[in-house]
Structures are given as structure tokens and as C-alpha cells.
Chain A
Amino acid sequence: MAAAETFHGKTLRNAFGNVFSFFILILIGVLAFSIRLFSVIKYESVIHEFDPYFNYRVTQFLTKSGIYDFWNWFDDRTWYPLGRVIGGTVYPGLTLTAGTIWWFLNSLNVPLSVETVCVFTAPIFSAFASWATYLLTKEVKGTGAGLTAAALLAMVPSYISRSVAGSYDNEAVAIFALIFTFYLYIKTLNTGSLFYATLNAIAYFYMVCSWGGYTFIINLIPMHVLLCIVTGRYSSRLYIAYAPLVVLGTLLAALVPVVGFNAVMTSEHFASFLVFIIIHVVALVYYIKGVLSAKMFKVAVTLILSLGLIVCFAVMAVLIALVASSPTKGWSGRSLSLLDPTYASKYIPIIASVSEHQPPTWPSYFMDINVLAFLVPAGIIACFAPLSDASSFVVLYIVTSVYFSGVMVRLMLVLAPAACILSGIALSEAFEVFTRSIKFQLPGASVKPQVDAGETSSGSAIPENDVSKTDKTEDTLKERPARKNRKKDKEPVAVEKPSIKSKIEKRLLVLPLEASILAIFLLVLLGAFYVVHCVWAAAEAYSAPSIVLTSHSHDGLHVFDDFREAYAWLSHNTEVDDKVASWWDYGYQTTAMANRTVIVDNNTWNNTHIATVGTAMSSPEKAAWEIFNSLDVKYVLVVFGGLVGYPSDDINKFLWMVRIGGGVFPHIKEPDYLRDGQYRIDSQATPTMLNCLMYKLSYYRFVETDGKGFDRVRRTEIGKKYFKLTHFEEVFTTHHWMVRIYKLKPPKNRIRGKTKKSKSKSSGISPKRSGAGKKNPWH
């Protein structure tokens, strides 16, 4: 009777818990979505940064021309005159996702523009990502940990930084795909069902479509499989989880044009094939072991070892020779720079010059994952008690992602979900211990501390079956329905009578009451600090669209919209076929907003082309004119921040132009532009620096602004103040002098003779004398 009552109470509690957790999940989704809307509220619904503009342009093309034209698109308005085959060089996942959403909404007659869909794709998918985190952590530890981890991921600043509303970049959907793939892998590992293995492969396919970081998955999972085999946790579920993934996953990855045959040919995938072979060997060994008797098995082992080792060595030697014969040993430049952090700065200056590829500083860890940095070690310990396949996977995930985030600050993004999962586990375990301590020590509790082998959800004891035979049948009947209604309630609830008496196996950890209450209060405070920091980071640090800048001065808010002003000028005042040359940072924005052909853009796939532009910027006017004329350039665009103090302008990036140009054209030497190893633009600068095109185009007529030519970014007066341009003419400078556009002058009609112009006494010639001081460089 008592059992029936408590069973009924348990069902009710379970049902209540289910509904509760469902609403909590919805709230987490809403939180994830709305915390990313700060940029829309503070600025406007606009696409941020540089890369998202390219994705936006591709999405526009997709929605206008359909998927077949998009698949075969050859873009002739970028990388002039080489063009770019978009269909084969872009990860289509993000574009196809946004295109599908737009098409679906439009077919329902909800007329959202493509831009709106693009701006809000990232917040929507971050809500999905937090739900995926809930599912993943639930597989590892349980519902309470799942909800905590989901709440943490919804707010973690590292993820917010790449998925605010307007940041329409690959990572927006890729992180969701990553977590979802991991969830399906763990689910397959736990259940051993081929259904989840299929879903896993399809989710992996979505990840490959979305981001180049898919190599992380295809290397982490084999590493985990190897770890399981080595630690003796091989099981047939492992085989079911891994082997179909490799076969289907490789096939699906090869379907994506960007990856193509790289799926089988590059070193990044070799680990998966190696472990595929290893797991088959291990499976065979286990099978034979199970079939044979022990003595026969030993005989088999000795036989196979002697034969197999020779074959193995031969195969390995061939493989190593193949891989070693290629200069980069089969790895791509970006992967190599991950493994050897110094590789990029030595060999590929373009990769080294991107600020996202620099190693992070210590404070950036605290800024990006905040409190989670302290909770992760506790989570790792919690994973070890007890260690299961899923929790060993999570531990491996956090260890590898910590290493990679130390190499490149951009990969902090991969660390964020792992940190959230482990912190969620740690927090949930801590809450459980404390609330259990409170529950068992509150006055009025009529129970003795009950046994639970392992952790339970806080608040009540899930009746656990133990080995005692007498209770078995009785318990089985009651537990099956009880277990079906799992408890997800993680808040401390009132004391509950345990429904089933069980033998005490282990004593549970119970802390003193006051300590528990204080500890819970402190934990809640910790969470509050985390929330406050996340909201602050989202509002202040990561919501700037970087195409519109603001500053607060004594007379209010000042908005700098110079970039869009310049692109609008270009699109209204130049011919459709005119070519614009600028540094590669602004390529995507120029093609998307100004709709003009550019020479180089952010894709940076052709180093020689970029080096040509870099050399032109570093050369004197005549040589630069020659280079630009050979590329049919009409206009040159330069970003200059000296008047308003905008620090990411071209003069600050200029040394990278010199380095990249010098890497291909040896007559450009970096020491020529430095005085005593220091980069200066004042009167102490070298003549090469003062005569190069970048200096002239940035500082032309700058002295007219304040009479002294004081550069607010470099904080000095410029070196050469009064000079004229002979081969270029200024056509547009924006309001705050941030973007300056110059036109190439056509070649002169006549070539002058050698005689110097003679001084004439008559007045008829004096009008031309003002021009006589101009040197004609045209011979």
C-alpha cells in the first residue's frame, strides 16, 4: 500500500518534472536568442564584420538564382582577373540553411527579406545549440547536468562573440552541428543502435557542409575509440558507433565539393582510417577469443603475431614513405599551424597576419568562459566517478580543445561547449550533494540516509535495484514505470519518503547542514556573477558590427558610418565594370555593398595575387601605377584612421603588406621601411616609407585638416606633409577621412622632350609657370 502511494507520488513528481524541464528548455532557448540581440537594439539590423558579407552575397545569389546556378556559380567580380569558382570553394551549409529558411518562410507568405533571415540565423541556431548541449550532457550524466550545461552554453561569451545577430558566419550553424554530432555519437555508443549511427553520419555530413573545423570531429572520435580500446573498454557498441560513421561519413564528406577527394587523401583523415583498421583487428581478436578456448587462443596469438608483425611493418613503411614524400606531409597549412604554432609565422605570413589566428592571452580565457574556467577541473573529476564511455569522451574533448584554443584564439569557440558541459556536470553534482545534505538533515526528516549507488538527481532518491534476489521481482515491477517517468527536477524540494527499502551498500556523502546552505548560496552567487558577466560581454564587448562605429563624446553619441558612405559612393559614381583595388580585408564588403569587381578579397586563396597588391602599395607611385594598370584597376581604396583615431587602418596593417609582398617579390624588403627596427611615419621615417604609395594615399592633403598633420593613431606628426600626387587623383574622401578613394590617371597624351623649360620674360608664359615646378616623370 505504501509502495503504491509512493509510486503514484513518484509518477506525479516525474510528470511534473518533465513538464518543468520542458519549460526550462524553452526558456533557455529564448535566453540564448535574446541575449544576442544587443547589436540589433544598439545599432541596427545589419550584417557585421567582413566574412558575413560574403556569405550574405552568396545567399542573395542562391535565393535569386536557385540551387543549380549556385552549385555551378563562377564569380567573375572578385579576384580579378582570375575569378573564383564559388560552388567548389565555399562551405555551403550556412548558405543552404539560411536559403531554406527564407524559402520556407516565403512559401508561407511571410515576406522576410534575405538580410533579416541572415541576421537572425545565428541566434536561432544558438538556441538549437543549447538544446543539443542539453541532450548531450543528459547522455553523459543526467537531466540536471543537461539543463545546467544548456543554460551555461546559452550565455557563454565565447560563443556569443561569433553568433550575435548579424554575425552571419559559418560558426553560427557549425557549433550546433558539432554538438549535435557529438550527442548522436554518444547516443549510439550508449544504445548500440544503428539508427542513431545513421543519424550520426547525417549530422556529420551537415557539419562537413558547414565548417572547415569538421576535421576536429573526424580526429576526436577516432582518438576516443582508440582510448576506449586501450583502456579495455572495447565493446561491440563501440564498433557500431564508429565503423558505419567512418564509411558513411567519408562518403558524405566527399560529396561536398569543397572537401571532395580530400576526404580520403589528406592527412587530416588518416587517423580515422587507421583507427578503422585497428577496431576491425580488435573486433576480430575479441570474436576469436570468444569462440576459442584459452589454450587455442594463445596458439593463435603467437601465430598471428609472428606473421602479422611483418606485414604490418611493411604496410606502415609504405604509408610513411608516401606521406613523407609530400612537402607538408599531407597536412594543409592551417592544420599544420595548429599542430606547430610557429609554422605559420615562418612559412605563411598570410595565416600569421590574421588576428584571429594569434594565440590567446590569459585574460581572454577569463573573458570568454569566465567562471567555467574554475568549474572545468571539478567537472573532470565528476566525470571519473564513475567513468563511462560517454564521460571519457567528454574528458578527451575538453583536453584537446584546451590545447587547440591555446594555439589560436579563434578556437576558443570549440572550447566553449566542452567547458559548459563539464561545468554543468560539476555544478549539478555539487547541487546534488548539497541539497541531499540539506534534505537528510532538515528537522522533520524521518529517514536515514538512503543508499544510492552513484549519484542521483537532487531532491529524491530514485529507487535502485541491487543484487539482492528477494527484492528483485517486486522492485522490477515498481521500478519500470518509475524509471519511465524520470525525474528532472533539480531544485531542492521538500523531503520525500523513500519508496523502497534497499540494502545499504555505500554510505553517501552528507555534509553538515550549515555548510551546505552556505555552499548553495555561494554557488548561486557564482552563477549570478557569471550571468552578469555574460550579459555585460554580450552588450558591450561583442555586439559591435564593426561596419558602423560609435563613440561617446561630451556632445553625445557620435556615429561613424564612413564605410557604407564610401561603398555607396562607389556604387553610384563608378561604372559597373570598374575594378577597385584595396587590401584584402575589404574585398568582401566591396563586392557585396558597392557591387564592384575587386582584385583580392578575404578568401586569401591566392598568395601571389595578394602579394602583387601588397607590392603595389609598398612601391613608389610610378611603379604602383604600372602594377595597377596591368591589372586594369581604375580605383584604389585606402582606409585611414588618423583623423579620428581608428586603429585598424591600413597604415597599421602596412607592415603585413610589406611582408606578404616581400615573400613573393624579393625587391620589397622589410628593413627598408623601418628606422632602427622601429616602424615610424614621422620625420624620422625612411625615404622608402615616405615615398611608398600607402603613405602618400593615406596622408595626401592630411595637413589641411589641422595645419600640422597630427596622426591620432600613431600619435605623432607625419613626416612628409606637402606633396602632390602625379599618377593618382583623389576622387572621394569620407566625412571622417576614414576611407579614401583614388583614381588612376590615364597615361599622358604627349611625351615631353629633354629640354628644360626656359624662363621667359614675357607675361604670356607666366600662367604656365605655376605648373612649371611640376616634374614630369613620364619618360
Chain B
Amino acid sequence: MARSTGKDAQALFHSLRSAYAATPTNLKIIDLYVVFAVSTAFIQVAYMAFVGSFPFNSFLSGVLSCIGTAVLAVCLRIQVNKENKEFKLKLESIYRHKVLSGISADAERDLPAERAFADFVLCNLVLHLVIINFLG
């Protein structure tokens, strides 16, 4: 039982790795960025557990800036991912629903990568502005 589980686990990892290798480079860059942000967050939490939470607002702003960049990067990845069907055209129900609710299906039917990146930059700007304000 354990051996079969072990073999299964190995097969699982193998298939995961091969699937991941197939992702395009720009998505891998985003993933690297996310990993960097999350690890920074972990370092800060470890530091806080060690030292205590005295300047709690600095701690919060540091951790939340890392988590925020991670989340925003994930959002960018979702939007830029060419395999993501939701941002492609012609998914019947979504399309029809959007038309009926009065939104032009054109606007986001294929969310251009430039628009996605521009939104990402804007959101990050707001995030970092708030972080700097909350830091001190």
C-alpha cells in the first residue's frame, strides 16, 4: 500500500514536472516573481515570530506588500495565459450573458495583454503607494 502510494507520488511529481515544463517562458517569469514575493513574506513572518510584533504597522505593510504583489502577479498570469478559455471569445453562455446584461462583449472578449499589463501596473502603483504610507 505504501509502496503503491510512493510510486503514485513519484508518478504524480513526474507528470507535474513535465506539465509545468510545457508552460511558456513569460508565465514562468511570473511564477518566479510570485515565488520571490511569497518567500519574502515568509522571511518577514519568521522575523516577527522571533522579534515580536512591535511596529505592527510596519510588519503588516511589509507582509501585505509581498502578498499583494504575489496576488497581482497571479492575476496577471491568469489574464495573460493564452490557454485560459475565459478570456477568449465564443464561450457561449458567457458571451450571451454579457450581451444581455448590456456589456459590450468586445471590451473584454479578448483582453489584450497590453491592457492586462497596464491594469497590473496601475494596481501595483496603488499598492505601493499605500504601503509607503502605512509603513512609517
Name A residues whose Cβ lies closer than 8 Å to a Cβ of B. Answer: 138-143, 190-195, 197-198, 201-202, 235-237, 239-240, 243-244, 247-248, 250-252, 254-255, 261, 264, 283, 288, 290-293, 296, 299-300, 303, 386, 388, 390, 453-456, 462, 464-465, 467, 480, 483-484, 486
Contact = CB atoms under 8 A, between A and B. Distances in A.
B75 interface: yes
Q: Which 3 A-B pairs have the closest CB atoms?
A: A194-B119, A291-B19, A247-B68
A464 B92 CA distance: 12
B127 interface: yes
Nearest to A202: B126
A303 B134 contact: no
B72 A291 contact: no
A252 B130 contact: yes
B114 to A, nearest CB: 12
Given A202-B126, A303-B8, A480-B106, A251 B101 contact: no
A251 B134 contact: yes
Given A194-B75, A195-B123, A303-B12, 11 more contacts: A191-B107, A193-B111, A194-B123, A243-B75, A255-B133, A255-B134, A283-B74, A292-B12, A388-B101, A390-B101, A464-B96
B5 interface: yes
B127 A235 contact: no
A191 B68 CA distance: 21
B78 A239 contact: yes
A72 to B, nearest CB: 16
Nearest to A146: B102
A292 B15 contact: yes
Interface of B: 5, 8-9, 11-12, 15-16, 19-20, 56-57, 60-61, 64, 67-68, 71-72, 74-76, 78-79, 83-84, 86-87, 92, 95-108, 111, 115-116, 118-120, 122-123, 126-127, 130-131, 133-134
Contacts of A484: 104, 106
B122 A244 contact: no
Contacts of A386: 97
Contact of A254 (B60, B67, B104): B60
B108 A296 contact: no
Contact of B20 (A239, A248, A291): A291
Nearest to B108: A191
B16 A291 contact: yes
B126 A483 contact: no
Nearest to A187: B103
A254 B100 contact: no
A190 B111 contact: no
A299 B79 contact: no
A240 B61 CA distance: 21
Contacts of A454: 96, 100
B119 A139 contact: no
A290 B19 CA distance: 10
Contact of B78 (A195, A202, A236, A388): A236
